[in-house]
Homo-oligomer: A and B are copies of this chain.
Amino acid sequence: MIMLGMFCVRVFSGLMGFRATPRVRSLHSFPGITVAQIDEEVAKLLQLKAQIGGDDGKHQFVLKTAKGTRDYNPKQMAIREKVFSTIIGCFKRHGAETIDTPVFELKETLTGKYGEDSKLIYDLKDQGGELLSLRYDLTVPFARYLAMNKITNIKRYHIAKVYRRDNPAMTRGRYREFYQCDFDIAGQYDAMIPDAECLKIVHEILSGLDLGDFRIKVNDRRILDGMFAVCGVPDDKFRTICSTVDKLDKMPWEDVRKEMVNEKGLSEEAADQIGEYVSLQGGMDLAERLLQDQKMSQSKQACAGLSDIKLLFSYLQLFQATDKVVFDLSLARGLDYYTGIIYEAVLTQAGVATVSTEAQNGAEESVSVGSVAGGGRYDGLVGMFDPKGRKVPCVGVSIGIERIFSIMEQKAEAAAEKVRTTEVQVMVASAQKNLLEERLQLVSELWNAGIKAEVMYKKNPKLLSQLQHCEESGIPLVAILGEQELKDGVVKLRVVASREEKEHIK
């Protein structure tokens, strides 16, 4: 009791103090009190908590990775590197540079960028010093990077992990730690040319990865806002109604309508008008028709968006990419920072294994198999970071690589493919005992000559186990040392698959 009593008194007296802003300070009478003191007391409390927890029992230890995360084993890594090489190959073909940013940012850098999704941001513990958060995407760090370095033109890709405290669905490739592969074009350019290149890139990557058929839905934030305006949505409800429309790929219109009316307080009439528009899909022709639409054409914003959609389709024709692109008014995308065109790619056929997984959980999700890429134009984001508010128009795309990994892994498993996880060319083996030194010397010579080679870490390994290792890990050649060969100054080289042998002068 004595110890705890003292602790409480100390903490209490500490708590009475925190740094007050000039305005707040007048409210109370404790001078010279700082935020650092709050930090200190917090640290003490948490330390105490750790001590309490530690006493609970010695071996409650759980052997697992954090919720929503996973390790990659060597086979998964081999698949991952193959996918990355296709994607990076495409980014480089389009002339992109690459950058990297830290995994955490100042908390305030992320504040106010993600709308309702902000609650999914991972914060770091306040251990003194700056308040930090794990990055939620690569776009906000990119905008911060541009503003900080006063860069007005760049075409860059960035492949790195991002973090979201979302509800994980690991079998479907939804993790709390996951890779994003972003390609963005920043700079003041003529309308829709960089935007069309982003869509071309999605088209190339999804075709190149051979994931089955796909569709790229496009829409424009200005069309959505114009539509909301002409349907009678109050200005201050645009963003929240937009978030609700965004759920159309996950729930039926009836539920979306209910959320609009019951939760967001929209009139039934407005909701029904929205309902009519968001059921529309088409191509350049739909954009033309809507430009003639009595209601829609009243919105200048909507018209600007519709004209750009037309222009976009004309460029996509030159890129031979219109076959997969659909103008879809139900596409909203949840993030706050988009200002113009938005897009999302979905696979329309799932791999066999994927479909069966989803069937177990009920079949209603089989229509929209999953978004594998998304992006859009965000002309205001960099300006939010610039002290003078200077704008740098940007458009970009993010490839949802985890979903793609899942599909590729399931494919490899289904095909029972043998995935090699090393590139070793030669195994240095011995047929007799006491040849460790000779093996080490030979493997070292091979390494020095740039040849990928292995040796068993045993003094006297059996020839059979050395050959078995070759077969298991797909090593094509084995160099066999024996006493006779050493006398003759030769090495016997055997092709593992055919057992063909040849002697080489050492």
A452-484 CB contact bits vs B (8 Å, 1 = yes)? 111001110000000000000000000000000
Chain B residues, CB < 8 A from A42: 42, 45-46
With A28-B4, A440-B319 already in contact, the answer to whether A452 and B95 are too (CB < 8 A) is yes
Question: Cβ of A458 and Cβ of B189 under 8 Å apart?
Answer: yes
Give, as a whole number of angstroms, the nearest-CB distance from A211 to chain B: 19
Cβ of A417 under 8 Å from chain B: no
Q: Across the interface, do A50 and B131 meet the contact criterion of CB distance under 8 Å? A: yes
Q: When the two chains form their complex, are residues B451 and A93 in contact, meaning their CB atoms are under 8 A apart?
A: yes
**The residue from B70, B95, B103 contacting A422, defined by CB atoms under 8 A apart:** B95
A 170-182 to B, binary, CB cutoff 8 A, 1 in contact else 0: 0000000100000
Per a CB cutoff under 8 Å, which of B41, B52, B63, B93 touches A21?
A: B52
CB distance from A341 to the nearest CB of B (A): 14
Q: Hey, which chain B residues are within 8 Å of A387, CB to CB?
A: 59, 63
Query: Which residues of chain B come closer than 8 Å to A320, judged between CB atoms?
Result: 444, 448
Q: Does A69 contact B (CB under 8 A)?
A: yes
Q: Is the CB of B48 within 8 A of A38?
A: yes
Determine if A83 is an interface residue (Cβ-Cβ < 8 Å): no
Knowing A18-B49, A124-B125, A319-B440, the reply to whether A447 touches B70 (Cβ < 8 A) is no
- A304 at the B interface (CB under 8 A): no
User: Top 5 A-B pairs ranked by shortest CB distance?
Assistant: A189-B457, A74-B97, A69-B102, A95-B454, A123-B125
Q: Is the pair B66, A319 in contact by a Cβ cutoff of 8 Å?
A: no
Is B77 within 8 A of A99, CB to CB? yes
A185–B124 Cα distance when bound, in Å, is 33
Contact in complex: B35, A49 (CB < 8 Å): yes
A194: nearest residue on chain B (CB-CB)? B457
Q: Which of A143-151, A271-279, A360-368 contacts B (4 or more CB under 8 A)?
A: A143-151
Q: Which residues 421-438 of A have a CB within 8 angstroms of B?
A: 421-424, 436-437
Distance between Cα atoms of A154 and B39 in the complex (Å): 44
Q: Max chain B CB contacts within 10 Å: which of A48, A52, A67, A452?
A: A52
Quick check: is A193 within 8 A (CB to CB) of the other chain?
yes
Q: Does A402 contact B (CB under 8 A)?
A: no
Q: How far is the CB of A103 from chain B (nearest CB, A)?
A: 6
How many copies of this chain does one complex carry?
Answer: 2
Q: Considering the complex, give the chain B residue whose CB is closest to the CB of A111.
A: B54
Interface residues of A (CB under 8 A from B): 1, 3-5, 8, 11-12, 15-16, 18-21, 23-24, 27-29, 35, 38-39, 41-42, 45-46, 48-50, 52-53, 55-56, 59, 61-67, 69-74, 77, 80, 92-106, 108, 122-127, 129-132, 134, 144-145, 147-149, 154, 156, 161, 163, 165, 177, 185, 187, 189-190, 193-194, 196-197, 200, 204, 315, 318-320, 385, 387, 421-424, 436-437, 440-441, 444, 447-448, 450-454, 457-459
Inter-chain CA distance A5–B447, complex, in Å, is 72
16 A-B pairs with C-beta separation under 8 A: A1-B27, A1-B29, A11-B15, A24-B52, A41-B45, A63-B144, A63-B148, A77-B100, A93-B452, A95-B452, A122-B127, A123-B125, A123-B127, A185-B457, A200-B444, A320-B448
Q: Shortest beta-carbon distance, A89 to chain B, in Å?
A: 8
Query: Smallest distance from the beta carbon of A143 to chain B beta carbons, Å?
Result: 11
Residues of B within 8 A of A440 (CB): 193, 196, 315, 318-319
